[in-house]
């Protein structure tokens, strides 16, 4: 895998769990940053592969950069991908890392009726609207940017839509998971135009990452 002379390839990543679990996979594909991404305040990092660089973004910005072609390739949670939609990009590989579930949660019993006009706090407004609509419910969606678990306690909302991993955060705040919306893991996404113009290097990257993912699965 090598870009053609002068060719650039930009890969968008997010700090935290996605970064720490993606870097070893990228290393197996021959791409490693030339300095520690975790310890630096820089946002752009050249790599061991000439022409290939990493950029560090907020997770919710990764689909935006890839959609507009500012980054060719990105790694993003399926939750944020569902929320942003897949216009202008391809979801090419499940990296099988940073697994969790996207769920509704609340303090009381699961709803049984369809009539209730409930208030739902979430940062996943599109996903939440689609989920409740599929249940015949038109919720009042309240957009939040974090600490969703606080909203029912403070009587801002009846339920939340959020990612659940261990369930400890819900439990610690007197809440429990209600409805499963989707299983989440990190996905490799590719700008549609880049897929055509840089097909050779991107196909090679996807193949190598796919091999690295499969070898972990089998380990
Ligand atoms: C996420 C999510 C929950 C928590 C779930 O928050 O929003 O609060 O993790 O994990 P658990 O089930 O293992 O308790 P995160 O810490 O990622 O921060 P965020 O609010 O920025 O999403």
Q: Of 20, 101, 163, 166, which is best to mutate to test ligand 1, by the most ligand atoms within 8 angstroms of its C-beta?
A: 163
| Ligand 1 centre distance from Cα of residue 146 (Å) | 8
Q: Is the CB of 168 under 6 A from ligand 1?
A: yes
Rounded distance between C-alpha atoms, residue 11 and residue 24, angstroms = 14
Give residue 140's pLDDT.
97
Give residue 101's pLDDT.
98
- Written as tens digits, the pLDDT of the chain (219 aa) is 666 766 789 999 999 999 999 999 999 999 999 999 999 999 999 999 989 999 999 999 999 999 999 999 999 999 999 999 999 999 999 999 999 999 999 997 555 555 568 999 999 999 999 999 999 999 999 999 999 999 999 999 999 999 999 999 999 999 999 999 999 999 999 999 999 999 999 999 999 999 999 999 887
Give the CA count within 13 Å in the CB-facing half-sphere of 87. 5
Based on its alpha-carbon atoms, the radius of gyration of the chain, rounded to whole angstroms, reads: 19
Q: Is the CB of 167 under 6 A from ligand 1?
A: yes
| Ligand 1 centre distance from Cα of residue 176 (Å) | 14
Q: Is the CB of 79 under 6 A from ligand 1?
A: no
Q: Is the CB of 165 under 6 A from ligand 1?
A: yes
- Do the beta carbons of residue 1 and residue 197 sit within 8 Å? no
Give residue 74's pLDDT.
98
Question: What separation, in Å, do the N-terminal and C-terminal C-alpha atoms of the chain show?
Answer: 25
Give residue 109's pLDDT.
55
| Ligand 1 centre distance from Cα of residue 62 (Å) | 19
Domains in the chain: boundaries = 9-98+185-218, 100-183
Q: Which helix (H) or strand (E) holds 209?
A: helix 199-218
100-183 carries CATH number 3.40.190.10: yes
Could you tell me the pTM of the whole model? 0.93
| Ligand 1 centre distance from Cα of residue 27 (Å) | 27
* CATH fourth-level superfamily of 9-98+185-218: Periplasmic binding protein-like II (3.40.190.10)
Paired strand residues for 54 = 11, 45
Q: Is the CB of 169 under 6 A from ligand 1?
A: yes
Examine domains 9-98+185-218 and 100-183 and report if their fold is the same: yes
What does DSSP assign to residue 77? E
């Amino acid at each position: 895998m090598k870009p053609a002379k002068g060719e650039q390839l930009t890969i968008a990543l997010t700090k935290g769990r996605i970064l720490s679990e993606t870097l070893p996979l990228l290393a197996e594909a021959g791409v490693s940053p030339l300095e520690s991404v975790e310890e630096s305040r820089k946002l752009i990092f050249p790599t061991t592969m000439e022409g290939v660089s990493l950029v560090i973004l907020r997770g919710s910005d990764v689909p935006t950069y890839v959609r507009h072609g500012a980054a060719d390739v990105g790694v993003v949670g399926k939750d944020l991908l569902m929320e942003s939609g897949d216009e202008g990009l391809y979801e090419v590989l499940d990296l099988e890392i940073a697994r969790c579930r996207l769920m509704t949660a609340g303090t009381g019993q699961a709803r049984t009726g369809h009539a209730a006009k409930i208030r739902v706090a979430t940062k996943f407004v599109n996903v939440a609207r689609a989920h409740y609509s599929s249940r015949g419910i038109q919720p009042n969606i309240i957009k939040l940017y974090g600490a969703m678990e606080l909203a029912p306690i403070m009587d801002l909302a009846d339920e939340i839509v959020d990612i659940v991993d261990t369930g400890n955060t819900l439990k610690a705040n007197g809440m429990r998971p209600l409805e499963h919306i989707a299983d989440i893991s990190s996905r490799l996404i590719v700008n549609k135009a880049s897929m055509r113009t840089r097909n050779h290097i991107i196909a090679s990257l996807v193949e190598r990452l796919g091999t690295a993912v499969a070898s972990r699965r089998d380990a």
